[in-house]
Amino acid sequence: MEELITGNGFIEKMRESLWGNMEDEEALRRGLITDLDRLHGEKAIRRSQAARIAHHTLLYRGEPDEADWSAARGLKDLYSCSTCVNHIAQVFAKGIMEEQTKGLFGVDECITCSQAQETIRRIADKSFRRVPKRSDVPEKVRFLQEGEAQRMLGEDRRILLVDVRSRKDYAQGHRQGSVNVPLKDLALNPRMICADTQAVIFLYCARGYQSALAAGLLVDAGYKNVSVIPGLQEAEGEYGGIS
């Protein structure tokens, strides 16, 4: 059996290869690690923990997040940890960490020394990454143009308009009349959106990627009338109902 790497060992490899031998206090300040990482550093590091550190390392190195991380949609354990969703989705969609077994990222499994080394190599050099194919959105999801979405919203006040961005983003501006159900919360329980699976639901985010993922979750959960409408950045300059 291949040797597992501890949290301290993983952090040390990151420090040497990607952080410029940064001290722990500086790594803490920059959000690359947490106090819990240091507290449990002697234990084998779990894949979800490694994904978080890898993701923050990418951001530290100036690599922006992937707007379209639909490739991670097929991971059955993607939403098992609500705080890990974006970390796992990003490192998976970028081809830095692969699924452990078919359809499973292996959130609670530990990584080996060779897997840690490969993760670091892929962060440093994009040519080594194995980027997965994007996931298709279910055919039952409708994609509406801005004008059609506005018309339908004006004609039917029963339409449930849902913003699936984070609460922070929602607070900074959103479509009038919308409610906020963040994607990571929706993923834990799609039925939280409403009890009526026949309800007409319009979803939006910033650029349409998160709302497409949310739509897939709702269709899979049995909702029959799900539509994705242009995100705020897509509709900028066309839609006046943003508050």
In this structure, are residues 31 and 55 in contact, taking their beta carbons and an 8 Å threshold? no
Residues 211-240 have a mean pLDDT of 82
pLDDT digits 0-9 by tens, 9-22: 999 999 999 999 99
What is the pLDDT, as a whole number, of residue 233? 82
pLDDT digits 0-9 by tens, 24-78: 999 999 999 999 999 999 999 999 999 999 999 999 999 998 877 888 888 888 8
Distance CA 118, CA 120 (A): 5
Distance CA 206, CA 188 (A): 21
What is the pLDDT, as a whole number, of residue 162? 98
**SS (HEC) of 38-65:** HHCCCCECEHHHHHHHHHHHHHHCCCCC
| Cα angle value 71/122/107 (rounded, 5°) | 55
Q: Choose the weakest-confidence range: 171-175, 204-208, 226-230.
A: 204-208
What is the pLDDT, as a whole number, of residue 241? 46
Residue 223, Cβ density class (10 Å: 0-12 exposed, 13-18 middle, ≥19 buried): buried
Average pLDDT, the chain: 91
What is the pLDDT, as a whole number, of residue 187? 82
What is the pLDDT, as a whole number, of residue 235? 65
pLDDT digits 0-9 by tens, 101-158: 999 999 999 999 999 999 999 999 999 999 998 877 677 899 999 999 999 999 999 9
Backbone angles phi, psi at 4, to 5 degrees: -85, 155
What is the pLDDT, as a whole number, of residue 236? 58
Q: How far is CA 243 from the centre of its chain?
A: 25
In this structure, are residues 153 and 159 in contact, taking their beta carbons and an 8 Å threshold? yes
Q: Which residue has the tokens 């970028």?
A: 94
CA dihedral 237, 138, 152, 167 (to 10 degrees): -60
pLDDT above 60 for 243:
no
What is the pLDDT, as a whole number, of residue 52? 97
Structure tokens belonging to residue 145: 């143009």
Say which residue, 67 or 239, is predicted with more confidence: 67
Distance CA 11, CA 102 (A): 28
Between the two ends of the chain, the Cα-to-Cα distance in Å is: 56
Distance CA 58, CA 50 (A): 12
